[in-house]
Amino acid sequence: MLVNMSTEYDLIPPNIENGQQTQLLQLDMQNRASPWWGASLLENYWVELAWALQESRDALKSKWLYQISKGSINLMPQPDRRPFDSINFFETRCHFVFKSNPNETAGILADEKDSHRDMAKWLDNDGLPDIWDYVDKYGKSFYSTVLADLGQGKGPSLLLPEYEDLLQEYTKIITGQGKMNAAVGPADASYRDSRNREGMGRLEITPSKFTASTCARCLK
């Protein structure tokens, strides 16, 4: 049986734009703690990544006299080939568009065709934005949250009990204050500081259930 599924995640905090953003359904820290932590990771690292990109744009303009205007990063998880806690868990493609001034023809910074696509190679490239640690954390947060929201309980995932040490590492800087005037949450403290809080549930992912009905018609 083939199942076609789609879902939508809007990562804009509610105090930006019109306040009508979507979010994960049933944010319940007691009965659905894993998705609750996933939502916290997504908001935190979306804000951290946006902040890091802005800081990097300013640094590149100061050093190389150009500023990135837009770009894209593609992350392809490799769960069967690479450890989840590795910076190279994702196979990575990227390109960025830059200009030195508004009247100049845009240039492109991109990974070379058929090049080695480990994220670690970007860490030491001072001609690209210095954002890769945040890209890695944001990517793993998104990967884990989507799997949890879909009820996929097989690892790797930040939101499973066997990965709680890594979840602690990812949440140790969560303060609930955010950056760039953006609110984050719902978590306002690290995983270990929060797990014994009254009403906080344990990490677990409930498998999704699909109900199918069959209609049979007998023709004589």
Rounded distance, CA 32 to CA 17, Å? 28
Q: Is the peptide bond before 156 cis (omega within 30 degrees of 0)?
A: yes
| Predicted confidence (pLDDT) per residue in 167-191, tens digit | 999 999 887 666 666 667 789 899 9
Give residue 186's identity as a one-letter amino acid code. P
**Residues facing residue 97 across a β-bridge:** 70, 108
pTM of the model: 0.81
| Predicted confidence (pLDDT) per residue in 41-89, tens digit | 988 998 888 888 888 888 888 877 777 888 888 899 999 999 999 999 9
